[in-house]
């Protein structure tokens, strides 16, 4: 007997610029439309998670602010005011369709810790198994600069990876990806499909930053697409201003821009190493070490390191860079930055007598290393 097809899993991301609404369609109406569409898919058996911005914006509106604060403490306080209002709107809207929701607040630190990442995965899995829609947001009230995602596009991609989603839908205020900013470039051409990571990297150069009320923009959406597609998740970028667009997308129509998933996705731990960790430093490696990593899947040995940047401890995440500054991969360092610097400054024999590590030992073992350069990533 053929086993049943598992239900489709989707993550839907909606940003502040959409949730603020317009004079014709306010925030409550926007959320009501989202709840109606997503509840219908859940009732068809799909597993749905929603990643939402909006807490800071709603807090600013409630406080009568004319613009988004810049100071971290003011943003945190505005989020504290707005988060409860945001969840009340979602709870009310989804309740109209007999759908339960759950608030899930995350910081980058929650996903940078392997144990806390796995705990978050288990919590999301349990909610989905109950038919509950997780409503995920960055914990802006507690997140400091070093623990912030900076945008919910990145968060949505990491949530998609965490639940093993089939598709990530990024709703924005343009109808698709363009070769330039269509608001300022009359020659910008629409792009209906991005086929692989190399093409995605080339397009990243045309992306623009976010507006006054959003921290995202096309740059962060392309970064989110890279995270998701490298983990085997299809990504769709489409206009979220029209409720009919989301309905059509969820029904399988080809709208917006499709980013095709990698045919050789990163396994779970490698995906976590590549995207969830916060690198604390950098190791510049020579061409021989670069070839060994890419062509033979080798570990990074001390003899292949030419310089160390930043300060980090043992087991911290580091970026591996070519001598030209191009990122090759990421991984967990077996040595602190001070120890690496000591190895580089001593002969191999002296290093071995001073440290437990010698020049021939792995500074980043291949089991704790993932290649991130597009040309080096399978698929």
Instruction: Tell me the domain boundaries of the chain.
Output: 9-266, 279-376
- pLDDT higher than threshold 90 for residue 372: no
CA angle 168, 10, 231 (to 5 degrees): 50
Do the domains 279-376 and 9-266 match in fold? no
Per the model's pLDDT, the better-predicted residue between 198 and 171 turns out to be 171
Confidence at 205, pLDDT banded by 50, 70, 90: low
In the prediction, which pLDDT does 148 show? 59
User: 3-class SS at 54?
Assistant: coil
- d(Cα 268, Cα 161) in Å, to the nearest integer? 8
Least confident of 95-99, 174-178, 301-305: 174-178
- Token readout for 283 is 């190791």
Considering only the top CATH level, what class is 279-376? Answer: mainly beta
Largest CA distance in the chain: 74
Which residues share a beta bridge with 329? 320, 371
| C-alpha span between 53 and 86 (Å, rounded) | 9
Q: Which residues contact 278 (CB under 8 A, 6 or more apart)?
A: 108, 109, 112, 146, 147, 317
Q: Which of 66 and 3 is assigned the larger pLDDT?
A: 66
Helices (H), 44-71: 55-63
**Of all residues in the chain, what percent carry a pLDDT higher than 90?**
50
Mean pLDDT of the chain: 85
Q: Looking at the domain that runs over 9-266, which CATH code has it been given?
A: 3.40.1160.10
Give the pair of three-digit tokens for residue 268.
Answer: 């779970």
**84: Cβ contacts below 8 Å, ≥ 6 apart:** none
CB 188 within 8 A of CB 179: yes
- The number of residues making up the chain comes to 379
pTM as predicted: 0.85
Inter-residue contact 108 to 253 (CB < 8 Å): no
Cβ atoms within 10 A of the Cβ of 354, count? 13
Taking alpha carbons only, the member of 42, 66, 59, 55 closest to residue 14 is: 55
**CA–CA gap between residue 316 and residue 343 (Å, rounded):** 18
pLDDT band at 276 (very low <50, low <70, confident <90, very high): confident
* Predicted local distance difference test score (pLDDT) of residue 66: 85
Each residue's pLDDT tens digit, 315-332: 999 999 999 999 999 999
Q: Which pLDDT does position 219 carry in this prediction?
A: 83
Q: Are strands 369-371 and 133-138 parallel, antiparallel or unpaired?
A: unpaired
Average pLDDT over residues 66-75: 85
Distance CA 349, CA 178 (A): 56
pLDDT of residue 142: 64
**56 three-state secondary structure:** helix
Q: Which of 14-23, 77-86, 315-324 has the lowest mean pLDDT?
A: 14-23
Q: What whole-number distance in Å separates Cα of residue 360 and Cα of residue 214?
A: 48
Q: Please report the pLDDT score of residue 354 as a whole number.
A: 42
Specify whether the CB–CB gap between 322 and 286 falls below 8 A: no
What's residue 234's pLDDT? 96
339 to 271, 312, 318, 350, 358: CA distances (angstroms): 27, 10, 14, 13, 11
In contact, 312 and 332? CB cutoff 8 Å = no
Work out the average pLDDT over 331-355.
72
Q: Residue 186's pLDDT is what?
A: 77
Separate counts of helices (H) and strands (E) for the chain? 14, 17
Q: How confident is the model at residue 211 (pLDDT cuts 50, 70, 90)?
A: very low
Q: What is the CA radius of gyration of the chain?
A: 22
First-last CA distance in the chain: 32
pLDDT score recorded for residue 357:
53
**Residue 1 confidence class, pLDDT cut points 50, 70, 90:** low
26-46 confidence digits (pLDDT tens):
889 999 999 999 999 999 999
Name the helix (H) or strand (E) containing 178: strand 177-178
- Of the ranges 142-151, 270-279, 295-304, which one carries the lowest mean pLDDT score? 142-151
Which strands, in side-by-side order, build the sheet including 317-321?
305-310, 281-285, 317-321, 327-332, 369-371
Record the tokens describing residue 354, joined without a space. Answer: 């001073």
Each residue of 140-174: pLDDT tens digit? 666 555 445 667 899 999 999 999 999 999 998 88
Residue tagged 């430093």 (tokens) = 281
CA 14 to chain centre: 14
Q: What are phi and psi of 114, to 5 degrees?
A: -60, -40
């Amino acid at each position: 007997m053929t086993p049943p097809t598992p239900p489709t899993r989707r993550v839907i991301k909606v940003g502040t610029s959409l949730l603020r609404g317009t004079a014709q369609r306010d925030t409550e109406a926007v959320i009501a439309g989202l709840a109606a569409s997503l509840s219908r898919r859940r009732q068809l058996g799909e597993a749905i998670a929603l990643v939402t911005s909006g807490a800071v914006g709603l807090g600013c509106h409630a406080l009568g602010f004319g613009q988004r604060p810049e100071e971290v403490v003011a943003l945190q306080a505005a989020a504290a005011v707005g988060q409860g209002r945001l969840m009340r709107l979602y709870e009310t809207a989804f309740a109209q369709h007999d759908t339960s929701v759950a608030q899930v607040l995350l910081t980058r630190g929650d996903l940078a810790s392997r144990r806390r990442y796995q705990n978050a995965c288990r919590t999301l899995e349990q909610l989905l198994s109950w038919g509950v829609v997780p409503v995920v947001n960055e914990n802006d009230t507690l997140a400091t600069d070093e623990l912030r995602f900076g945008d919910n596009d990145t968060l949505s991609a990491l949530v998609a990876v965490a639940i093993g989603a089939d598709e990530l839908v990024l709703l924005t205020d343009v109808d698709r990806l363009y070769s330039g900013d269509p608001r300022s470039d009359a020659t910008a051409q629409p792009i209906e499909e991005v086929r692989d990571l190399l093409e995605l990297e080339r397009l990243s150069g045309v992306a623009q930053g976010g507006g006054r009320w959003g921290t995202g923009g096309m740059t962060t959406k392309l970064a989110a697409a890279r995270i998701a597609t490298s983990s085997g998740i299809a990504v769709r970028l489409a206009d979220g201003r029209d409720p009919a667009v989301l309905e059509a997308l969820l029904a399988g129509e080809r709208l917006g821009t499709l980013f095709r998933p990698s045919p050789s996705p990163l396994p779970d731990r490698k995906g976590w190493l590549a995207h969830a960790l916060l690198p604390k430093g950098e190791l510049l490696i020579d061409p021989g070490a670069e070839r060994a990593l890419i062509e033979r899947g080798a570990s990074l040995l001390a003899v292949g390191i030419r310089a160390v940047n930043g300060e980090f401890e043992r087991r911290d995440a580091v970026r591996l860079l070519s001598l030209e500054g191009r990122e090759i991969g990421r991984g967990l360092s077996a040595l602190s930055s001070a120890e690496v610097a000591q190895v580089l400054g001593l002969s191999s024999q002296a290093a071995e007598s001073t440290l437990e590590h010698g020049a021939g030992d792995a500074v980043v073992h291949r089991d704790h290393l993932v290649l991130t350069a597009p040309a080096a990533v399978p698929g």
